Amino acid sequence: MIDTSPSLTLVAVIVVLVTVGVYLMLERSLSRVLLGIISFSNGINLLFLVAGGVAGGAPIIGQTPDGEMSDPLPQAMVLTAIVITLGMTAFLLAMAYRSWQLNEHDEVQDDLEDRRVARRAAADLAAFEDADVEVTTTLDEDAAGAHDETQGGDRP
């Protein structure tokens, strides 16, 4: 029977990486979210190493005795996951840059239409008005008046 109890160091590192990752993903700035995503994904990648059991020799017949090989399958899966995360991270980085180009910040913005619906509901107004009854403001005019935290005045 192979000993499959996980290494305490690995588990501790996973706990730290995932905690940091979750904390940073809750931030508004996209670059911090990105760092959080990298940390989180690395935590999960390490979890695959735990899932693979104890470390052993190279899994090549003739080089390592049968019982002492490490399990190659989780390592193959981790490699795939790392490559996927790399590509996605690059894309997210490009999006953060584009957001900075357009808005001069990379913060996740509010959905204006959602805000508008919520504002009208709070003011106990109808979600829509009939054109037959009265002239209404357009969606864009309303949206421009909606409050957006990311466009506050206290920005540097």
Partner 1 sequence: MTLHDLSWVVPLPVVLPLFAAGLALALWRHARAQRIISLVALSLVLVASVTLLIAADAGPIVLDVGGWAAPVGIDLVADRLSTLMLTVSSVVILCVLIYSLAQGIADGDEDTPIAIFHPTYLVLSAGVANAFLSGDLFNLYVGFEILLAASYVLLTLGGTGERIRAGTIYVIVSFLSSFVFLLAIALVYAATGTVNLAQLAERLPEVDPGVQLALQLLLLLAFGIKAAIFPLSAWLPDSYPTAPAPVTAVFAGLLTKVGVYAIIRTQTLLFPDGRADTILMWAALATMVVGILGAVAQNDIKRLVSFTLVSHIGYMIFGIALSTEQGLSAAIFYVAHHITVQTALFLVVGLMERRGGSTSLDQLGGLARIAPVLAILFFIPAMNLAGIPPLSGFLGKVGLLQAGVAMGTPLAYALVAGAIVTSLLTLYAVVKAWNKAFWQTAPVEPPPMTLPRGMTGSAGALVVVGIGLTVLAGPLYSYTERAAETLRDRDQYIFAVLPDGVRGTGQSPEVSQEVGESVDDDLVEEGGEG
Question: Does the protein bind partner 1 through residue 146 (CB under 8 A)?
Answer: no
φ and ψ at 39, to 5 degrees? Answer: -65, -45
φ and ψ at 29, to 5 degrees? Answer: -75, 130
Cα dihedral sign, 143-149-153-156: negative
Question: Does the protein bind partner 1 through residue 151 (CB under 8 A)?
Answer: no
Q: Which residue has the tokens 């192979």?
A: 2
Question: Does the protein bind partner 1 through residue 58 (CB under 8 A)?
Answer: no
What angle (nearest 5°) sits at the alpha carbon of residue 30, between those of residues 28 and 34?
Answer: 120
CB contact set of 124 (below 8 Å; sequence gap of 6+) = none
The Cα 54–Cα 133 span in angstroms is 74
Question: Is 60 or 156 the residue whose CB approaches partner 1 more closely?
Answer: 60
Q: What is the DSSP letter of 109?
A: P
Question: Does the protein bind partner 1 through residue 17 (CB under 8 A)?
Answer: no
Long-range contacts of 136-140 (CB under 8 A, 24+ apart): 139/113
Question: Does the protein bind partner 1 through residue 132 (CB under 8 A)?
Answer: yes
Work out which of 12, 16, 19, 103 binds partner 1, going by CB under 8 A: 103
Question: Is 20 or 51 the residue whose CB approaches partner 1 more closely?
Answer: 51
Work out which of 35, 44, 93, 146 binds partner 1, going by CB under 8 A: 44
Question: Does the protein bind partner 1 through residue 82 (CB under 8 A)?
Answer: no
- By CB under 8 A, name the binding residues for partner 1: 1-2, 4, 25, 30, 33, 37, 40-41, 44, 47-48, 50-53, 59, 61, 66, 69, 71, 73-74, 77, 80-81, 84, 87-88, 91-92, 95, 98-99, 102-103, 108-109, 111, 113-114, 117, 121, 127-132, 136, 138-139
